[in-house]
A = this chain, B = another copy of it.
């Protein structure tokens, strides 16, 4: 069966995508795709997502240039989550970090920032950030 046809989208027509750095396995982000974004991703080889706040499909990196070239795609036993391995330009996080998962839980239950800063969001996104 075709990979895309087998995917199960939720009631809103979306599927979550876990995005992993193809180089070192670091989880970079989790975002949502609709069917159109999935198709566009495989057509172009560049990750496309669906923004739930802006209600539209977008090319990751369309304003920042920080695109994600997709090297591998998998789905899970329930076919309701995507896992993609990507070649990430600069950082995945709009806050300037390599990975969005820069908030680490401490042994005491607090939170510390533990991320690799790749760019200055003010410079990349201008007044939007």
Complex formed: what's the CA distance from A61 to B11 in Å?
A: 29
Give this chain's copy count. Answer: 2
When distances are taken between beta carbons in the complex, the residues of chain B under 8 Å from A83 are 27, 101
Of B30, B74, B102, which is within 8 A of A105 by CB?
B74
A6 to chain B, nearest CB (A): 6
Tell me, yes or no, whether A94 is within 8 Å of chain B by CB: yes
When distances are taken between beta carbons in the complex, the residues of chain B under 8 Å from A3 are 103, 105-106, 109-111
User: In this complex, what residue of B is CB-closest to A84?
Assistant: B105
The interface of chain A, by Cβ under 8 A from chain B, is 1-4, 6, 16, 18, 20, 24-27, 29-30, 42, 72-79, 81, 83, 93-95, 97, 100-106, 109-111, 114
